Amino acid sequence: MSNEWADWLSRNGTRQFHLARKAGWNAFVQAAGREPLRRLDRGALARLSPVERADYDEARTVWNANLPTIRTSQLVRSYSIMDQVVASSRRDGDRLRGSVVIDSPAGVGKTTIATRYARDFHRRIYEREGALTDEGHQRLPVAFIPLSAGVTLKGLNTKILEFYGHPGAQRASTTALGSLAVDCVLSCQTRMIVIDELHFIDFKHRNGMEVSNHLKWLANEMPVTFVYVGMELEAKRFFDEGLLPDQSTYAQTSRRATRCPVSPFDISSDSHYQAWNYLLRAFEEHIVLADARPGMLTELANELFRRTQGFLVSLTNIIDRACWIAIATGTERIDETVLAAVTVDNAGERAASRR
């Protein structure tokens, strides 16, 4: 039997986007936001039938687990750097474009920043130029390529072809793969390529150097802005291409790439503390629990910071787990007792136990 909440779930359930394939990326770009979920107070909760209650709790769990993307100051600043680099990408095709490098520790929101920015970019071009190119190819303004451990030159090209669904992805030789990848990018008129998890390339190793040189070659061949995303890229010598210090002035990457650092939140000054509170308030407004109220999270600002050290990944985990506990135990709000019952990720727990 269907009810309001089961219907909501059928339209707004958990979505699987496979961003590394064009179909999945397109679905992500085109996805509409979830329909808002109604908050019921305790009286209304008590009047639900057991089936309705189970559906409502499931709907709330989906809703609470998908916190909105907040325009944090880190995000706004990164967008502005990317806007500047993209502005110069209007250079004619024979001139080299710059690239952006989002470089920071894990779990601060790098992938979120890059994918959201690329999604908006994709939508704008689609709206202006339509779904097909003049030659009748599918227009794909953005390609998203996440790397995996120990990636080689061949692996990189294969991943690019897989994104475009090119049938040659598994067969062609390494050199042929490279030109096929360029063909895909040109025929679909891709303008931005996001390469995520770039830290999987070891720039000091021969394989890594090959990949790094190939990325430079691709940047020369294609009228595309590259957005590189990874951890500790400066330390991993991405910018100086693994060259020895006395040769590193020859590194082209350093001159072409604009670094965009993203930091975790900190609460050491008033303005930082305010930013942390702004974030908590935005999450607080989203959460659907019967006894949720303004101040529910901001009053726990210090404790939430202690538990998460300002890392968005740990914060979103602790909040959606706390929501789940609040529903399962009938507490219907987040307070210190609920937080104490939540286990977060390993790094968060270890760091919190030292404070």
Ligand X SMILES: Nc1ncnc2c1ncn2[C@@H]1O[C@H](COP(=O)(O)OP(=O)(O)O)[C@@H](O)[C@H]1O
Binding site partner of 70, from Mg ion, ligand X, none, Cβ cut-off 5-8 A by kind: ligand X
CA distance 114 to 227: 7
- Considering the rule CB under 6 A, would residue 75 count as an interface residue with ligand X? yes
Provide, rounded to whole angstroms, the least separation between the CB of residue 259 and ligand X. Answer: 15
Query: Is residue 232 a contact partner of residue 225, using CB atoms and an 8 Å limit?
Result: no
Judging by DSSP bridges, how do beta strands 99-103 and 192-196 pair with one another?
Answer: unpaired
Binding site partner of 223, from ligand X, Mg ion, none, Cβ cut-off 5-8 A by kind: none
CB-count burial class (<10 Å; 0-12, 13-18, 19+) for 267? middle
CA distance 106 to 323: 24
Please, which of residues 279-318 interact with ligand X by CB under 6 A?
312-313, 316
- Considering the rule CB under 5 A, would residue 111 count as an interface residue with Mg ion? yes
Cβ-based neighbours of 340, under 8 Å, separated by 6 or more: none
The DSSP secondary-structure symbol of 264 reads -
- Considering the rule CB under 6 A, would residue 112 count as an interface residue with ligand X? yes
DSSP3 helix / strand / coil % (the chain, rounded to 5): 55, 10, 35
- Considering the rule CB under 6 A, would residue 72 count as an interface residue with ligand X? yes
Choices 43-51, 78-86, 101-109, 330-338; region in contact with ligand X by CB under 6 A: 101-109
CB-count burial class (<10 Å; 0-12, 13-18, 19+) for 110? buried
Choices 16-24, 104-112, 123-131, 208-216; region in contact with Mg ion by CB under 5 A: 104-112
CB-count burial class (<10 Å; 0-12, 13-18, 19+) for 2? exposed
Separation in Å, CA 60 to CA 24, 36, 37, 67, 122: 25, 10, 7, 12, 31
- Considering the rule CB under 5 A, would residue 314 count as an interface residue with Mg ion? no
Among all chains, which residue has been given the structure tokens 């961003």? Answer: 19
- Considering the rule CB under 5 A, would residue 190 count as an interface residue with Mg ion? no
Provide, rounded to whole angstroms, the least separation between the CB of residue 134 and ligand X. Answer: 35
Choices 78-86, 106-114, 179-187, 327-335; region in contact with Mg ion by CB under 5 A: 106-114
- Considering the rule CB under 5 A, would residue 112 count as an interface residue with Mg ion? no
In sequence order, what DSSP letters do the residues of 173-205 get, joined into one string? -HHHHHHHHHHHHHHTT--EEEEE-GGGS-TTS
Exactly one of 9, 67, 181, 260 binds ligand X (CB under 6 A); that residue is 67
- Considering the rule CB under 6 A, would residue 97 count as an interface residue with ligand X? no
CA distance 21 to 6: 30
Number of residues that bind Mg ion (CB under 5 A): 1
CA distance 172 to 294: 59
For 243, the token pair is 């060259």
Number of residues that bind ligand X (CB under 6 A): 15
Binding site partner of 101, from Mg ion, ligand X, none, Cβ cut-off 5-8 A by kind: none
Binding site partner of 112, from ligand X, Mg ion, none, Cβ cut-off 5-8 A by kind: ligand X
Of 77 and 216, which has the nearer Cβ to ligand X? 77
Provide, rounded to whole angstroms, the least separation between the CB of residue 69 and ligand X. Answer: 4
For 140, the token pair is 């794909």
Provide, rounded to whole angstroms, the least separation between the CB of residue 316 and ligand X. Answer: 4
Of 138 and 263, which has the nearer Cβ to ligand X? 263
Choices 46-54, 63-71, 82-90, 198-206; region in contact with ligand X by CB under 6 A: 63-71
- Considering the rule CB under 6 A, would residue 321 count as an interface residue with ligand X? no
Of 143 and 184, which has the nearer Cβ to Mg ion? 143
Closest residue to Mg ion using C-beta atoms = 111
Binding site for Mg ion (CB under 5 A): 111
Binding site for ligand X (CB under 6 A): 67, 69-70, 72, 75, 106-112, 312-313, 316
